[in-house]
Amino acid sequence: MKIARSAKDIYRPRARIMDELIKKAIKELEATRKPLNAVSWKPDQPHAQPFFTYDRSKQGWAPAEPKPLQKGGSGNGINRLRLYSWNIDFMLPFAKPRMDAALDHLNGLTSKLPSTTAAVIFLQECIEEDLETIGEKKWVRDKFNVTDIDGSNWQAYYGTTTLLDRRLDITSCFRVHYAKTEMDRDALIVETSLNAPSGTPKTLRLCNSHLESLAVKPPLRPAQVRVLATHMRAPDVHGALAAGDFNAIQPFDRTLHEYNELKDAYLELGGREDSDAGYTWGQQAATRTRERFGCSRMDKVFFTGGLKVHGFERFGADVQVSGQRERREIAKLGFERPWITDHLGVVAEFEVVD
């Protein structure tokens, strides 16, 4: 006779497996953390890093030289920029097939853009295997420059990386490793230029950041956003965007953009807090985790200066791994479906204004 099991009986072993994954991730983070006396950067200060373009003659990624601001601007007629930001959970197994699925989805989205719109992709929670997967894709090699081909500029074994439309000149690339962090978080900043309607080239800063997780005391995200906002409003910067997994899980997170004189793209276009339309985390979390924490708007896009926002959306819903073994193993962790990450991505489109 088959005895029906309660939901607790079903989820308890899955919860234990997830707990083990989290413990393993924490151990790996501790084991791979670079001590401050072993790195060349200083907390809260810009540290230049290389960026890379694919050299077809050498069949490999090669360091590229920053270009000074051009009189005629860069971009070959580009007048808008579309920014995609997505956190691909580093704790789940099967990093390569999950990143493959994420990149296939992003390729589909970016390949549909008009020629006058440049694509920029921010990724968070990447591991070095993810960087290898990104670098293997023909569409990435053909269309984008990348900021990272290894983790040498990360404080620990996972971090952020940015893909920038090859038609845009990069005038500067640097990281700011936050002083106030327990999880080795930073801001990856790429500087480029785009023509305003007057035809004058304007300097833009594109800031990719994964803010501190969890509700720690004292909170660390306010200090991190202060540092981020300082670099967004640097002299000679016409406009700046900041996006990523901002881990907005506490009441003060709702006003961090206002406190730092930034705009929130979702709210600027009429979005509301505590709305299903704005939630980016929870829908694809493990069932037990979602039941415990609910859904939230963790992922955001902030901006300032001479920029006009024309659209904001979420993307990445229901993207799953395809292999049968991978699907089976991820389901065992307590997920309703074999999703590649617990976050939805966010995308916003901007135009430079004089």
Q: What is the pLDDT of residue 17?
A: 52
44 has a pLDDT exceeding 60:
yes
Residue extents of the structural domains in the chain: 7-352
pLDDT category of residue 102 using cuts at 50, 70 and 90: very high
Between CA 330 and CA 217 the distance in angstroms is 33
Does residue 4 have a pLDDT over 70?
no
CATH class belonging to 7-352: alpha beta
Q: Label residue 28 by pLDDT band (50, 70, 90).
A: confident
Give residue-wise pLDDT tens across range 193-252: 998 888 888 999 999 999 999 898 999 999 999 999 999 999 999 999 999 999 999 999
The Cα 55–Cα 3 span in angstroms is 62
Q: Please answer whether residues 194 and 75 qualify as being in contact, where contact means their C-beta atoms are separated by less than 8 angstroms.
A: yes
Give me the DSSP letters along 302-319: EEEESEEEEEEEEE-TT-
Q: In whole numbers, what is the pLDDT of the chain averaged over residues?
A: 91
pLDDT given for residue 321 in this prediction: 97
The pLDDT of residue 177 is: 98
pTM for the model stands at: 0.93
pLDDT tens, position by position, 71-95 = 555 557 899 999 999 999 999 999 9
Residues 6+ apart with CB under 8 A from 281: 295, 296, 297, 298, 299, 342, 343, 344
By percentage, how much of the chain surpasses pLDDT 90? 81
Q: Which pLDDT score, from 0 to 100, does residue 20 have? A: 67
Give dist(CA 163, CA 31) in Å, integer: 28
pLDDT at position 13 over 50: no
